[in-house]
Structure 1
């Protein structure tokens, strides 16, 4: 990393601490007291040795207990103020970073989540931010305390005897080179270790999400081996970090021993020649020994800081990722629409191969448009583009004449209600899940939506009714029950445009019949797009579009398409012959 890039990261970290500057300032004042206490201890060694030990002044000895307690109380109080307020500031800054990161994350476009696994993203939000916490709390505490202590002790040592202090001080710049080299290695391996931790988190997240599949296929041992491999990769990298971290203290110990030995040899020579008293020698020696302790701790702090710097790079990398789909600078609020939808010569590709090619359709307000065709024909892509999860490479999508790229995404989604083929429910109560699209809805409106979705009966049979907590992703409910709650959520949303992507795929025959009738009632006066593989669910659509390889190959009513002997007829015959068999 270049020096400029490092400086930018430092400045960004400092910017997060700026709102807590007064607490940091108070902590710095307390740090001065801590550092001053250490320097005072070194200073008092001289009269203690010369006046009490050598001269035998017992009157001074009576003051020693009071002095010891007083110094300890002052230093203890200063340490408390320093540590509490700097950690408060550090934790506050970390909270701000995590909040900003989460807020930025949920605003990123769908392509980002396609390219990055949820485990990797979770690792950055949790593990990387936690590592950054050490910089803005523990590292700041140690940095302030040890820096002020070392400065105070160095100042006293030079004041007492600059020649001896200079001999000891040479060690400090001499240790800077090895410390910096070790820090760079730690940062490199720490960043790679955090990436490896992302893989571990991804493996864990996939296991928890797919535990039913793992159990069904009996692949526990294979998944365990996969997790062990990912964990071993992380272990190897983190051990390299430990190796360099462990090497830093012995190196500093050796260098400081040279400084102490030089000072001691020169000091004893001067005491022997009468140029210095024993008290002066021990006073300076105490200052130098006390000075090296902060130096060693600061070296360890640098190691921790380098680890956090690697984590900060990854966090800021995510924060700097710009959403692909954004509101135009002059985007307008789209009012509640009538529901006319147009696709005008839309071409779209996720990668290189187009999924939709020159796709056009017109859906008048209140019509039910069904999209059918083989898997991969582009049906769900139409829904994604209408939701503006992606923008087309060519062409445009309009609602009531508004190009959806020129309206705010918030106003666009107020006009849409989606029931996806992936039934997702939050680990909250059933009531909260149904109310998710309209938080202000009353309890009666929630119940009415559930009734229309044929969900009210089974909900009331649950232990806590609508207040039942349904577990992560709704694992306590059957697939059909989850889908009916998702339909109730869409019904309560009451948007002019309804999007049903395989909305009845998980329902049994009886529930499907009831929900189909509820959806027929719901569709009245609403523009509805229905995607379904089971053609029995789209027979009554006003218009059926048959897609194949991203193009509309047929369009018409159910009866019209049956009479053309095309792809729709072949799909129909395959399904109903299978049903008869």
Structure 2
């Protein structure tokens, strides 16, 4: 019920649509009850009294009634389903907004395909269920209530025989619905795995083809798809059982009514028209009740999907703004890591890391792969929070700043060149959404990207495709650097910023970065030591600990790990 109430909560903004639908539902239910009610007097007038006027008017009245009923059904279906669609749209927007706002850890713990499946498959399943919930409750529920009134008025004894079997249908419906709900959750989880496989193989199709792994990925997809079928097969089995069980149970009620009602007609206690009027109402009653019970299975599937959706909405945000944030004012840009430790689940990644980077200084982080350099860089913008110690900017713990205030002070160029299926200008504008085209062009010139941009078919308005697939690695990296230049933040984080560049491009970008670094605090991760020889300070990290700190000449003289890395690259 809590899940159901939460779904209904999203329909509140569209209450007027639901009110129109309810009014139309009353009209539909009323006409069904009226048709059942009129059977007895019509049969009496036509066949007993042979009233030709009524006989002539009945076909015309029937057309008018069904025309009115058709308009009411249209209004009921249109407004209730559009209300449901709008509510589901709000839910999908909230799930996406929630996911985007969650910390980086959430995205490293969950495959991309699973995250996509929650928004598409799970919310889609909810969408179908919400439509069934409201339609069944309004239209079929009102119709059933009206017809119940007719049969109780006609003959309360027969009505009790009809009604007594209806509660019996609830027991199997509940048990079957519960199993369908669990199977729905499992099948949606399997659908998430299928989406993950699709996302991985399509984004990595070049590697799949290069290593001739087409058969391997197809076999993996087929196995996962077979798992989905097994869940769906069980669900189909229970859904297929539902209708026969309901019909068998209700047949006892129908048989009892025919036997008892027929006996009353033969004993003269009830007229044949009255009995036929009762039978008509009873047959019409079983229809909407059957639909309500059948919709129960769809509702259970929707509840299973809703629980998975609300798991995302209710997921705690580990990285949050402080209750009493500090206003940083004009940030100078000094950065300090003070006795920083960091754990990822049970794995200790950093231990007692300390170093400083003063305003305008260039501090390089070097060390073997997996030493923890990228983790250190991720702690400064609070992609993760430290588990020990503190990260400070201008002496203020970053956990005491609003995330917006913190991230405004930082520009990032990551080792992975992330570009979007947008124009070149809009990709650069991520650094400053309000920037003019002249400012975008200036940033591109500083990153030595302007020339190749102008060679594109539409210049800065050229769409670069998914993840910038139409550009070379060096071109993608230079656009990312132009983005950071345009942001013009006092702190610059460069994580392997020149890793994808050829020698000529690297030389040009290094010149641009040298100009960009002036009067800015810059932290650089580089495996190419040639790019950090002139850094103000080099911090050597190994196995999550700082093992050496100094300039290039000082570290070479110590003959430690840095000297070993240096000799490996330059010999």
TM-score (norm 2): 0.98
Alignment partner of 2:465 out of 465, 471, 479? 471
Does 2:148 match 1:154?
yes
**What is the CA–CA distance in structure 2 between the aligned matches of 1:545 and 1:104, rounded to whole Å?**
37
Question: Residues 355-395 of structure 1, C-alpha deviation per residue, up to 9 Å, x if partnerless?
Answer: 22111111110000011000111111111000111111111
Are 1:566 and 2:560 matched, yes or no?
yes
- Tell me, what secondary structure is at the counterpart of 1:458? helix
Q: Give the corresponding residue for 2:164.
A: 170
Q: Is 1:457 aligned to 2:451, yes or no?
A: yes
Is 2:275 aligned against 1:284?
no
The residue that corresponds to 2:540 in the other structure is 546
Q: Distance in 2 between matches of 1:454 and 1:216?
A: 32
Cα separation, 2, equivalents of 1:335 and 1:211 = 48
Tell me whether 1:531 sits opposite 2:525 in the alignment.
yes
1:22 deviates by 2.4
Runs of 4 or more above 3 Å deviation? none
Other structure's SS at 1:421 match: coil
Q: 1:484 pairs with 478, 485, 501, which one?
A: 478
Residues in 2 aligned to 1:519 and 1:561: alpha-carbon distance in whole angstroms? 24
User: Which residue in 2 is equivalent to 1:273?
Assistant: 267
Note the alpha carbon deviations across 1:471-514, whole angstroms, 9 max, x for none: 11111111111111111111101100000000000000100000
Q: Does structure 1 retain, via aligned residues, the 8 Å contact 2:102–2:318?
A: yes
**Tell me, what secondary structure is at the counterpart of 2:558?**
coil
SS in 1 for 2:11: helix
Per-residue displacement from partner, 1:288-307 (whole Å, max 9, x unpaired)? 00000011111111000000
SS of 1:302's equivalent in the other structure is helix
**1:332 Cα shift?**
2.8
User: 1: CA distance between counterparts of 2:421 and 2:483?
Assistant: 15
Unaligned runs of 5+ in 2: none
Moved more, 333-342 or 371-380: 333-342
SS of 1:62's partner is helix
Deviation at 1:55, TM superposition (A): 3.4
**CA contact under 8 A between 1:93 and 1:136: conserved in structure 2?**
no
2:387 is equivalent to residue 393 of structure 1? yes
Q: Give the 5 Å matches for 1:175-574.
A: 175-574=169-568
Q: Kindly indicate whether the alpha-carbon contact (under 8 Å) linking 2:125 and 2:305 is maintained by their aligned counterparts in 1.
A: yes
For residue 339 of structure 2, give the secondary structure of its aligned residue in structure 1. Answer: strand
Q: 1:193-242 CA deviation, whole Å, 9 max, x = no partner?
A: 11111111111111122112112111011001111111111111011111
Contact in 2 for aligned 1:49/1:278 (Cα 8 Å): no
Among 56, 59, 66, the residue aligned to 2:53: 59
**Alpha-carbon distance, 1:48 to partner:** 2.6
CA–CA separation in structure 2 for the residues paired with 1:250 and 1:336: 74
What is the CA deviation profile of residues 90-137 of structure 1, one whole-angstrom value per residue up to 9, with x for unaligned ones? Answer: 111111111111111111111111111111111111111111112322
After TM superposition, give the deviation of residue 469 of structure 1 in Å: 1.0
SS in structure 1 of the partner of residue 548 of structure 2: strand
Greater shift, 476-485 or 346-355, is seen at 346-355
Cα distance between partner residues in 2 of 1:219 and 1:335: 55
Which string of whole-angstrom CA distances, capped at 9 and with x for unpartnered residues, describes residues 253-289 of structure 1? 1122221122112222222222222211110000000
Deviates more, 1:189-198 or 1:259-268: 259-268
| Matched residue SS, 1:563 | helix
TM-score (norm 1): 0.97
Aligned to 2:130: 136
Cα deviation, residue 419, structure 1:
0.4
Measured against aligned partners, the alpha-carbon deviations of 1:149-186 in whole angstroms (never above 9, x if no partner) come to 01100111001111111111112111111111111111
The CA distance in 2 between the partners of 1:385 and 1:288, in whole Å, is 69
1:96 & 1:276 partners in 2: Cα distance? 56
Aligned equivalent of 2:75, options 74, 78, 81: 81
Distance 2:129 2:349 in 1: 47
Deviation larger for 537-546 or 22-31: 22-31
Instruction: Report the CA distance between 1:335 and its aligned residue.
Output: 2.7
Find the aligned partners of 2:163 and 2:243 in 1 and give their Cα distance. Answer: 18
Which whole-Å CA distance do the structure 2 matches of 1:35 and 1:389 have between them?
57
Structure 1 position 17 matched with structure 2 position 46? no
What CA deviation, in whole Å up to 9, does each residue of 1:300-351 have, x standing for no partner? 1100000000001111111111011111111133234111111111111213
Q: CA deviation at 1:543?
A: 1.0
Are the equivalent residues in 1 in contact too, given 2:129–2:301 (CA < 8 A)?
A: no
- Separation in structure 2 between the aligned mates of residue 97 and residue 293 of structure 1, nearest angstrom: 32
Corresponding residue SS for 1:530 = strand
